[in-house]
Every structure is written in C-alpha cells, then in structure tokens.
C-alpha cells in the first residue's frame, strides 16, 4: 500500500476546488496521512480575538491537497474512506462572524440590521475524557461535550470548467459541513475532471446539525484516509456509507431544494441497490428517512437523507467498496 504523508505549509494551502495544480499524484489504493489547518487558518486563538480584527477573509477554510488520482476520469466515482480523524491541537475555536450565520442577516439574506456582536469561544480538549469544554460568557456555566471529530469540507474539482471557493458546498461536495463525515465512513464523489483533484479540510471537533452560527468547534486535524476509484460509475450528489447507514448530501437554496436533492439522490441509490422503482423508493423513504440538517449557513445550504441499513436487506453499494475499505483499514 502506497502511503503519502502531507502537512502543507501556509503557502501550500489551497482555497478552491478546481483551479490549482495538484500537490500530489497518487494511485488508487493509496493511504494518505494528512494534516489540515482549521477554517480560521489558525488565526483565532483566544476569547479576546475578534474575527473582524484577526481573520483574513481571503484566507479562510484552507484545504489540504488537491490530489490527482491516476486513472480518474469524468463518469467515475471517487471513494474516500476516512480511517481516522484525530484533533491535532488541544483546543478548538468558534465565533460569531459579522454578517454570517443562520440567525444573522448575511450578504445573501441582505437586511438593514447592523451585524450581531462578535464573540469567540475556545473549547479545551480533554483527550482522556474525550470531551471539549464549552464555557459560557454571559453566565457561569461550563459543559463537557463529547469530542466527535468530523471534516466540514471534502470535495473534488467541479464540473463545467468552474472553480469554486472552499466555502461552497455543491454537487462536487465541498463545504457540506455535515457531522456524517466522520471516521469510519466512505465518501463517494462523482469525478468531474481528469484526476478528480480532491482535497479535504475544515476539521471540526464537534458540530451540531445545521451549524447555526456558522462555525463549529474548529480545529486542526490529523486525517488518515484511503483513496479508491470506481471506474465507469457516475455519482450525482455526494454519498456517504458507514457500517450502519447510507447517506446522501444535497446542497442548494432554499433549504427544501437541498433536501429534495438528497432525497432524489437516495431514491436513485435505492433503485440501484434493490431495483425499486421511483414510486416504491419514494414511499419507502417516506417511512424510513432520517433527515438531519448539515448546514444552514453556507453559500448553499446542505441537507441529508440517511437510511439505517438494519431496516433494509443486505445491499452492496459500489461493488461492496465500503466493506472492502473497512477491511483494508483494519490491516493498517
């Protein structure tokens, strides 16, 4: 098994999907040991830091990559199996940012209000207890919250000659900000350009569904993943497979369209897995869909349709790719 380790320096960060030269060329089957900087580019470190003062908005959400996958072509599907995500620092940060967040006027939901106040929270990580600590600033309240590492941003180069900011989620994946992107899952992304050119970033030590204020417990992350390629098999909306669930992520505005995309994606997947026609799949989904929101803050919103495998007959998605990668991961 080829192994590539990569810890980009600040000048190696990338800020877009598409439009940049690959950091590495790898073959399917490669194991990657990566480090990802946090979405603030490490600039938010104290509760006294105000985002408008310390952040450079042209340098937010740095990505690690992109990786050119040998043999990947449009019409193929890239499989990224996340073996491990481990916080690379002992603290994470979150903040309200002017004109950003689900409960704020924004550039896109443009109202006449002044921005909400800026406030920064620092979450200490207790590795032994597996928790991050929330400390309120308006009252004397501290809470231990389970540390649940995930990646906010996983994507390939977009179709249609486009180059998109790493802040955007869409068909190419990107900044989906779903807690489903966690260790042990396989993410399937349709390949749009030769080499796929995927990158990853935006580690979260924890995030609620919807990512209300727009920033999770943001933290640098050590990420281990295995890359595989499924030839001649297209994927439309990003899919995630775990040992327990099938998941599809849709991204759009308004939010109902994001969710509809994820539902249509799942109806297609149920058809592939079990031969159900669209009406039967629609009906089944009506009764078994789990629909936890991902983000309601980014340029597109992201919504999730998720099905528990234990409600379904045994299925084999992408030729059993997830099980194969799980097995491979155990050998590392």
By CB under 8 A, the residues from 7 to 26 that bind a second copy are 15-16, 18-19
Q: Which x/- pattern, by CB under 8 A, does the window 81-120 give for a second copy? A: -------------x-x----xxxxx--xxxxxxx-xx-x-
List the structure tokens of 68: 């050119």
DSSP output for 69-98: ETT--TT-EEEEEEEEEEESSSEEEEE--T
Nearest approach, Cβ of residue 3 and a second copy (Å) = 31
- Minimum CB separation of residue 330 from a second copy in Å reads 30
Which bin fits 196, alpha (ψ -120 to 50), beta or left (φ > 0)? left
SS3 35: strand
- Cβ-based nearer residue to a second copy, 12 or 109: 109
**Closest to 96 (Cα-Cα) out of 70, 71, 115:** 115
Q: 210: which DSSP letter? A: B
Q: Does 216 bind a second copy (CB under 8 A)?
A: yes
Distance CA(267)–CA(7), nearest Å, equals: 39
Looking at the Cβ atoms of 3 and 103, the one nearer to a second copy is 103
Which tokens hold the place of 156?
């390939």
Nearest residue (CB) to a second copy, 28 versus 210 = 210
Site string for a second copy, 141-160 (x = CB under 8 A): x-x-x--------------x
Q: Which member of 5, 70, 126, 277 binds a second copy (CB under 8 A)?
A: 277
Site residues (CB under 8 A) for a second copy, limited to 172-201: none
Sheet holding 239-241, edge to edge: 3-6, 31-36, 221-230, 77-87, 186-190, 239-241, 245-252, 301-308
Would you say 72 or 255 has its CB closer to a second copy? 255
> Residues in contact with a second copy, total (CB under 8 A)?
89
For a second copy, the binding residues in 247-276 under the rule CB under 8 A are 250, 252-257, 259-261, 263-264, 267, 274-276
List the structure tokens of 196.
Answer: 């796929």
Among 163, 244, 320, 332, indicate the residue that binds a second copy (CB under 8 A). 163
């Amino acid at each position: 098994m080829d192994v590539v380790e990569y810890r980009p320096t600040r000048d190696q960060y990338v800020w877009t999907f598409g439009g940049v030269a690959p950091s590495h060329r790898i073959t399917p089957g490669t194991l990657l040991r990566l480090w990802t900087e946090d979405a603030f580019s490490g600039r938010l470190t104290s509760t006294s830091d105000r985002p408008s003062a310390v952040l450079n908005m042209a340098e937010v959400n740095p990505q690690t990559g992109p990786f050119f996958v040998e043999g990947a072509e449009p019409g193929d599907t890239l499989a990224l199996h996340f073996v491990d995500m481990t916080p690379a620092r002992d603290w994470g940060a979150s903040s309200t940012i002017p004109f950003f967040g689900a409960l704020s006027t924004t550039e896109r939901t443009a109202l006449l209000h002044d921005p909400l106040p800026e406030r920064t929270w620092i979450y200490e990580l207790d590795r032994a207890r597996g928790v991050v600590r929330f400390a309120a600033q308006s009252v004397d309240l501290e809470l231990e919250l389970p540390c649940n590492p995930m990646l906010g941003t996983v994507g390939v180069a977009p179709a249609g000659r486009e180059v998109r900011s790493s802040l955007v989620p869409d068909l190419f994946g990107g900044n989906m900000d779903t807690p489903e992107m966690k260790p042990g899952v396989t993410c399937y992304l349709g390949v749009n350009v030769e080499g796929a050119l995927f990158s990853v970033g935006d580690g979260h030590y924890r995030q609620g569904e919807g990512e209300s204020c727009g920033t999770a417990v943001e933290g640098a992350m050590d990420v281990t993943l295995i890359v595989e390629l499924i030839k001649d098999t297209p994927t439309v909306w990003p899919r995630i497979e775990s040992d327990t669930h099938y998941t599809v992520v849709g991204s759009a505005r308004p939010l109902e369209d994001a969710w509809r995309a994820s539902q249509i994606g799942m109806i297609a997947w149920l058809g592939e897995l079990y031969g159900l026609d669209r009406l039967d799949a629609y009906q089944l989904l009506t009764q078994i869909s789990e629909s936890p929101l991902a983000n309601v803050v980014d340029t597109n919103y992201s919504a999730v349709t998720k099905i528990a495998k234990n409600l379904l007959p045994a299925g084999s998605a992408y030729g059993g790719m997830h099980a194969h990668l799980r097995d491979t991961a155990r050998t590392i």
